[in-house]
Chain A
Amino acid sequence: MAGTYTTRTTAKALIMSGYGINSEMETQEALMRAGMASDIVHINDLIAGEKALSDYRLMVFPGGFSYGDDTGAGNAYANRVRNNLWSDVKEFLAGDNLVLGICNGFQILANLGLVPAFDQDRPREIALMPNRKGVLECRFVTLKPAAENLWTKGITHLYCPVSHGEGNFSCSEETLNRIEREGMVAFRYCRDDLSPAGGEYPYNPNGSLADIAGITSADGRVLGLMPHPERAMEFVNLYDWPTRKERLRREGKPLPTESMNMQFFRNIVAYFGE
């Protein structure tokens, strides 16, 4: 089926790989379906200069378990980026480019200080703490956009899996106030009817402060998101699809092929334009 999707932008995505990241392929597939080509690149090939970050417009840190989550999820991979690629990354951030971190990628961004990044120093101001339940949680969650920005355009809700042990969004009250005030909360966990989760499990699956599932950087060009829209690209990936299918069949309606989560990737591609 590769090649049956139309490329809608000349901008290209770099999907980071290596050391236990494991969601490169579905991330690439989601971007391809939305119209964006990408390369999956091992971080060591970037460090060795075999590939250059400057050839890309979108940098994605996908999900996984980099370095086995030892010393804290995302910490070691973030150090590898900081110690070897930091000037390239800073240059990339200064341009009209986007950075996306999903799950382990969000944990990496948090450790690097790419979110919330109130200023150019990018200190580490947020943490994805261990889930309140204390164990990895793999289940579907409903997300509602909390800001109007390039990432959330046209999205009423997302319905996709979380699968993490450390996703409990935490920060100081001062940081939280600033994130809220500046409209940097991109998505919040909510109930099926899109009303606030109010911290209640399982709607908020990990105990995140203010039901925060994802935030952007202050300049809006970096997004960190714990849930995985790339894992539910199709209608048949959705947890409740069998019931929806049966209802649609009885109403004589056709089944959708893709899910609502694809809008998220379309937004990214639309940002770059043709």
Chain B
Amino acid sequence: MAKESGGCHVLLDRVPLKYPGMAPWEIWISESQERMTLAVPEERVGAFMDLMKKREVKATVIGTFTDTGRCVVEYNGKTVMDVDLDFLHDGLPKKHLITKPPAAIPSDPVPACPDRLDDLLLVMLGRKNICSKEFISTQYDHTVQGGHVLGPVQGSGRVQAVATLTKVVPGSMKGVGLSQGLFPSYTELDPYRMAIAAIDAAIRGLVATGIPMETIALLDNFCWCSSDDPERLWQLKRAALGCRDGAVGFGTPYISGKDSMFNDFSGFDADSNPVKVSVLPTLLISSIGVHPDVATAVSMDAKFDGDLVYVVGETGEELGGSEYLAHLGVRGGVVPALDIEAAKARYERMTDAIEKKIVASAFPVTHGGLLVALAKAAIAGRVGMDLAIPGGMRPDCYLFSESLGRLIVTVAPSDREAFEEIFGDDAHLLGRVGGTVFRVSAGEKTLIEQPITAMETAYKAPFGGY
């Protein structure tokens, strides 16, 4: 704040303390929360302090903003700091850091695809990154201020969505959508693609509800490890490049962000050997966008028997860092890449289709791939599906690949023509909604036949007792 005026004069002894005995430097740099600083014009200080008193808010005048070009700090009448403001803000000498790409992680062979995938489906639905964490969502007050439109849990089957939608101005039909993307398991393999994946997922989550891309803005939150480690710093550099290319490519600006570096632990193990444990380099991309009319918003749950099930977008054999390979304990693989221009065109079509009210449900494909996304839409709607997958790829690879840019969509039969006209070859019809059983086949062969109730149980079991 002092940068704006060109200086400040602070009286440290006036700062209210939680406990006595703090040295001046401790008071100066303490990060105690639930405090805020305000600049109030001198002639309004009386009125301001009166209001604070009426609202029983503790407020203290601790100094003045100046234009002396210096930051002066006093404690009990004694100057304890007098620093040139320019030095304070820009005086830190530039540090020269070194990056080095880490050794490539070898790719293990993927074991043969099982004949039936029923057990795999249930196990995947129960994985911690995929299963229901509803007990957390329901402990968070997401209905306050009366703006709830699409909540963190959706459908009669109560599945966790990836985006929420909230009306913020009572008299307006516009809404604010929030979503996010997070793929730390991709970082060690390809930090650049990891960042692109997070950006794409954050945008796609909003697009699926009907939010146009041009209203979307992003936040980048890094939780990284030591930047003194050249390999970690190389990963950070690549992730930052991905952040730039993703945001520029989609035309979605960053409006904020945050970083937490040096999340490393150095110590000793049980046998007194030195150990260093670092957090998986993690980038969370959050997204915010404006829905033009929430009455046209689309939820994730499949809705009515007979509706058509599509996947929009292309599936490649991109299993690197995937939930499937993590389940198998297989290292390596190809991290999903994205053709941003193709994705943008697809998302624009999606906005168009939702605006035309021909989308009954939409849900982005992310962790766990197509099969998990389809299962979640079915569980959310408590309706079965009868699906046939194309040949040409191993069924498990096709179903668990985490290729980016894809959405699963259900459409009323009467809207088939209009829907296919919008998406053309980019929409792949997989089957229909209906019944109480989730069935997936490849050619003549049945891969999965599971009651929706069993899938719901598997999805909710891991944290069911909370």
Contacts and interface: CB of A to CB of B under 8 A. Distances in A.
Interface of A: 1-2, 4, 18-19, 22-23, 25-26, 29-30, 42, 44-45, 48, 63, 135-139, 161, 163, 228, 230-237, 239-243, 245-247, 249-250, 255
B145 interface: yes
Contacts of A228: 143, 146
User: Shortest 6 CB-CB distances between A and B: which pairs?
Assistant: A1-B171, A26-B146, A242-B299, A161-B143, A231-B146, A163-B141
A236 B167 contact: yes
Nearest to A18: B55
Contact of A139 (B138, B149, B155, B156): B138
Nearest to A47: B54
B167 A250 contact: no
Nearest to B53: A44
Given A1-B172, A4-B171, A231-B144, 14 more contacts: A1-B171, A22-B145, A23-B145, A45-B54, A135-B139, A138-B137, A138-B139, A161-B143, A236-B167, A237-B149, A242-B150, A242-B303, A243-B301, A250-B304
A128 B137 CA distance: 23
Q: Secondary structure at chain B's binding surface: helix, strand, loop or mixed? A: loop
B370 interface: no
B143 A231 contact: yes
A218 B408 CA distance: 55
B412 interface: yes
A22 to B, nearest CB: 6
Contacts of A232: 143, 146, 148
A245 B295 contact: yes
Q: Secondary structure at chain A's binding surface: helix, strand, loop or mixed? A: mixed
A1 B170 contact: yes
B139 A137 contact: yes
A22 B144 contact: yes
Contacts of B149: 236-237, 241
Interface of B: 54-56, 135, 137-151, 154-156, 167, 170-172, 294-295, 297-299, 301, 303-304, 357, 360-361, 412, 414
A136 B360 contact: no
Given A42-B55, A137-B138, A255-B295, A23 B172 contact: no
A45 B149 CA distance: 35
B145 A25 contact: yes
B217 to A, nearest CB: 23
Contacts of B298: 242
B355 to A, nearest CB: 13
Contacts of B297: 236, 242
9 contacts: A1-B171, A2-B171, A163-B141, A228-B143, A236-B167, A237-B148, A242-B299, A242-B303, A246-B304
Nearest to B166: A237
Given A139-B138, A250-B412, A48 B143 contact: no
B295, B298, B301 pick with most chain A CB within 10 angstroms:
B295
B54 A48 contact: yes
Contacts of A230: 146
A236 B303 contact: no
Contacts of A48: 54
A44 B50 CA distance: 12
A173 to B, nearest CB: 31
A23 B148 CA distance: 14
B302 to A, nearest CB: 10
Nearest to B298: A242
Nearest to A2: B171
A240 B156 contact: yes
Contacts of A18: 55
Contacts of B147: 237
